Structure 1
Amino acid sequence: MRFHKRSTTPSYFSRRDQIRLFRLVAALGVIFLAMLYASREENWYWLTGRPAGDPARQQAKEAPREIDFNVREEPKLNPDEFRSEPAPEIKVPEQVISQLESGEFDVRIDPRLLNPVSDSTLGIKSHEANALYYLLAKAAAIPQNVLEQSAEPAPPFVVVMTESPKYRGTLMKVKGQLKRLKALPVEENKYGVQSIYEGWFFSKDSGTHPWRVICTQLPPGIPMGDNLSDMPEVQITGYYFKKYGYASAAGKLQTAPLLIARQIRWFPQTKQTAPSSSGAVKYIVSLFLVISIALAFLIWKFMVSDQNFSRSRTAKLMQRPDMSMESLNDIETVDINDVLKQMGQQKQNPPGSDQSDQQK
């Protein structure tokens, strides 16, 4: 005796099963996209918050500060007065030592060398020039990749401008868009610096206020001019020097952070018409194309199989016969009352009962 139905192989040619397969493949695609989204760290910042060392978090924690962009004006002197220049705690070395005895490059700067440097003063003072050329020679003597590997990301613009003495002599790197680049005349110096270039650029958090950079080398092909309309992408790795006072195009005196670098890292624009924001986009698009082509092929295959099956002999045998009312006219009918009477008589006089009575 069987208590369970015999299992049969499901038919995948039915429209219902085809829809179920399509939903299964679509669900797998949704799961893949969810995994890709969950694998990105920045998508979970709303729940866990940004890492402690993230510059954006550091800037968000900073209370709004008012930056003083004004240039500090020095009082005028009488004919019999003179202004004494601050002296450094230690003497600036006559030669630049860029390597240690072990052969490793030394990117450190003794902060005592920069004690005479003053913030918010117009231009470079005479007592600051020696330290400026020393930093230029120091940066030029160290390979660019060593400087970039040793530098830390620059603090937010507002932090640098409000806490300038804290970061003086710090090696930092910052990305931005270059607005102006030109050569400057070189003053006589004892460090062998023969060429210097001045650049002005804007970082993401500096708004309309620029950074200033002075370097000794330029990458080949970098555009130069007083007003670069393309504003190429650059990265500056250099030593922070001071809040540099300058006269803006409108004639107003303002200040900007000054970096002393070896070379400007330039990122030339490619000729791509529509660059993607992430390299994973092309892989996602390719995956969707493959899935779409596979689904289209499966649907076409199922449709062809359905058509072939409908023309086969098996499909004709499985067709339901025509059960019209006219086909029932030739069938002999039986009255149910007559059937019940016959069954009652058979019960009262079962077969063989007459023979048993006669024997008695």
Structure 2
Amino acid sequence: MRFQSTAKKPPYLNRGDQFRLLALFAMLFIVVLAFRKAADPNTWRWLLPGDEDQVADTIDTGDLRDISYVVVDKNEHLDLDEFIASSEGGANSGGAPEEKFNLLLDPHVFDEVKDQTVGWRSRAEVAALHVVLEKVRQLDNKAMTAAANKGVGFRQINQEPEKFRGELVRIKGVLWRLDEFQQDGEPVEDSPVYNGWMFTDDSGNKPWMVLCTELPSELPLGDKLDRPVAVTGYFFKRYGYETTGSQLNVAPLLVAKTFELQAVPAEQLEERTDNATLTVFLVLLVSLLLLGLILFGFIRSDRKFAGSRLAELAKPNQNATLSSEVLDGMELTHPSDALRGVGLGGKTESDSDEQVDEQNG
């Protein structure tokens, strides 16, 4: 009969050593997280702000249209602080007609574009998107900004999308998320597209979606960027997307060339510094408390072991001096002397002589 053994294999480490190893692994995990957090440049922006994070200039320059002027004769001498403004429109008065014509898009490009659809509705819509992307790659961002409509709000563009479709729109707000856009259809090599989500003052918690073909060198990809930016782009459609809570939402989609970094306001910069300082202080405090608890557990475990019966058994019964004296007083015998006279069968020579005498007798 076979009986199942109830004996369990003894662990190689006792409970105290297992706890210590677990605590060391926890400390190593915290160190790795700290290294990864320290490698993020956004972590140290509060301590070493870059040029783009400088406080905005608070000097009010006023509206240039309020400059007073006096009609003078062209031949009259002017003072050093006076100038002549020509009554005829110059080259920069409204932009060259050819330049404005180059900024226009063919209205038929948007024939297959439909609003309030999750993702892209058809291949024709994707093709229209690539046409607009290729258009902004060839344009200058300053020219786009000069010709853009700067008075379009979030609610207005959502209520009248057909009116503003294909029109250049300029908005300012806070860029929250930026990543590389996964283009549908055949991707074009060396022509990346970036997807940004930004909030404006009138959008509340509803974002704008912006596709751009270039990025400033100071603007990294990532989440929770919280960077003040401005952008000029063509309004494409009201893009439907699914939120993290599996809810459907719609965002105005702009196709732009790049983001323009804006100066951080003084109040926002001070708030960031205060929040970052508090976060660093709390992280250090929690880390020190955790380290203190681990060390306290180690010390308590050592003291508990020192007062246990196992520690008494582990101690030597005699000291080194007594052991040396005992060894010095022992009689030494060579192993060959102990085996001398032992014959086969474990009998000695004296035993063999006694057996011979008995046989003779």
TM-score normalised by structure 1 residue count = 0.45
